[in-house]
Structures are given as structure tokens and as C-alpha cells.
Structure 1
């Protein structure tokens, strides 16, 4: 397995897609129920393959991810061959996880208590695997507005 199996909730939300996936392998509902009952390891493998397909599709379309903590933000732009990072650290007592703290940062990005660093590097492994690792460590897929806002400020 390349990534991790989708959660029960993710499978439920992708019920129709999973049914089409099984149908593409000539597995109907009755056969699927039989496989789950009699060959749970085969059912598990089908779910793993489907999960990898879904993750690959999602990650291929992912261009930005971001991770916020109480006093820092890590913003990533995921290009084809390299990843760009803007790291923001606030050196006074503020909570970026709260609306008030986040709004303060967006209104005061050049304040003396805000440190901004930028860097880029080629992927160490496969692009999608590195993005998946960031997500597993708590990052969220984003549209990139915050990354682009800070990128404009520091360019």
C-alpha cells in the first residue's frame, strides 16, 4: 500500500465511486458481500487499492498545503518538481489557531514580531508521497490564497 486506507467516513462518502471501482473489476454487490464474508483479506486488498487510487488522484491535484500552530504557519506550494515553503513565526503571545490571532497576522504581516522565511527544494522522494506525508503530519490542502499573499509581500 502506497498511502493509507481511507477512513470509514471517507469510504462512505465515496460509496458510488467504490461501487464503480468494483464494477470495473466485474464485482457486483452480491459478490462483494461474499468476498467480505469469505475472503476478508481480499476485501481488504481491494479497499487498499481503491484508497491508493483516490489518494493519488487527490494528491495529483493538490497545489498548496498549509499547517498552522499557535505561533507559526508553514505554507507550501507544491510544483511538479519542487516544493516551496514560507515559514512564518510570531514571537509574541498570540494564537494563530484562533480567528482573532489569524486576523491580526493577516493585518500586520510586517510587524517586528513576525519573522518570515522562504525556501524551495526538489522533492526527496515522489511528489505525491511527500505531500501525503505533510497531510499525515497535520497539514491541510488549501487553495493557496495565504501562500500567495505572503509570497507577494516578500517578493
Structure 2
């Protein structure tokens, strides 16, 4: 398995896609019910393959990821050959996880208490695996507005 199996909730939300996937594997509803009852290993293998297909699709489409903590933000942009990162550190007691802390940062990005660093690096492994790793460590998919806002400010 390349990534990890989807959660029960993710499978439930993708039940139609999973049914189509089973159909492409020539597995109908009755056969799937029988496989789940009689051969748990085969059922797990099918679910793992579907999970990898879903993750690959999501990760291939991903262009931005962000990770917020109380006093820092890491913004990532993924292109074909490099990861671009903007790291923001607040040097006073503020909580960026709260609305008022985030709003303060957006209104005061050039304040003396804000350190902003920018860098890029080539992928050290497969692009999608690096994105997946960031997601598993607590990052979230993003539309990229915050990355592009700070990228314009510091360019």
C-alpha cells in the first residue's frame, strides 16, 4: 500500500465511487458481500487499492497545503519539480489558531514581531508522497490564498 487506507467515514462518503471501482474490477454487490464475509484479506486488499487510487487522485490535484500552530504558519506550494515554502513565526504571545490571532497576522504581516522566511527545494521522494506526509503530520489542503498573499508581500 502506497498511502493508508481511507477511514470508514471516507469510504462512506465515497460509496458511489467505490461501487464503480468494484464494477471496474468485475465485482458486483453480491460478490462483494460474499468476499467481505468469506475472505477478509481479499476485501482488505481491494479496499487498499481503492484507497491508493483515491489518494493519488487527490494528491495529484493538490497545489497548496498549510499548517497552523499557535505561533507559526507553514505554507506550501507544490509545482512539478519543487516544493515552495513560506514559514511565518510570531515572536509574542498570540494564538494563530484563534480567529483574532489570525486576523491580527493578516492585518500586520510586516510587524517587527513577525518573521517570514521563504525557500524552495526539489522533492526528495515522489511528489505525492511528500504531500501525503505533510497531511499525515497535521497539514490541511488549501486553495493557496494565504500562500499567494504572503508570496506577493515578500517578493
For Structure 1 versus Structure 2, the TM-score category normalised by the shorter chain is: over 0.9
1:38-77 equivalences in 2 (<5 Å): 38-77=38-77
Q: CA deviation at 1:114?
A: 0.2
1:115-134 equivalences in 2 (<5 Å): 115-134=115-134
Structure 1 counterpart of 2:11? 11
Aligned mates of 1:80, 1:51 — CA distance in 2: 23
Gaps of 5+ in 1: none
Aligned mates of 2:68, 2:80 — CA distance in 1: 24
Q: CA deviation at 1:100?
A: 0.2
Give the root-mean-square deviation of aligned CA atoms: 0.3
Gaps of 5+ in 2: none
Aligned mates of 1:35, 1:6 — CA distance in 2: 19
Structure 1 counterpart of 2:37? 37
Aligned mates of 1:89, 1:26 — CA distance in 2: 52
> 1:125 is paired with a residue of what secondary structure?
coil
Structure 1 counterpart of 2:20? 20
Aligned mates of 1:31, 1:90 — CA distance in 2: 56
Q: CA deviation at 1:131?
A: 0.2
Q: CA deviation at 1:136?
A: 0.2
Q: Name the TM-score, length of structure 2 as normaliser.
A: 1.00
Q: CA deviation at 1:16?
A: 0.3
Aligned residue-pair number: 155
* Deviation per residue, 1:66-89 (Å, 9 max, x gap): 000000000000111100000000
Aligned mates of 2:65, 2:89 — CA distance in 1: 17
Q: CA deviation at 1:115?
A: 0.2
Aligned mates of 2:18, 2:9 — CA distance in 1: 13
Q: Where do 4+ consecutive residues of structure 1 move more than 3 Å?
A: none
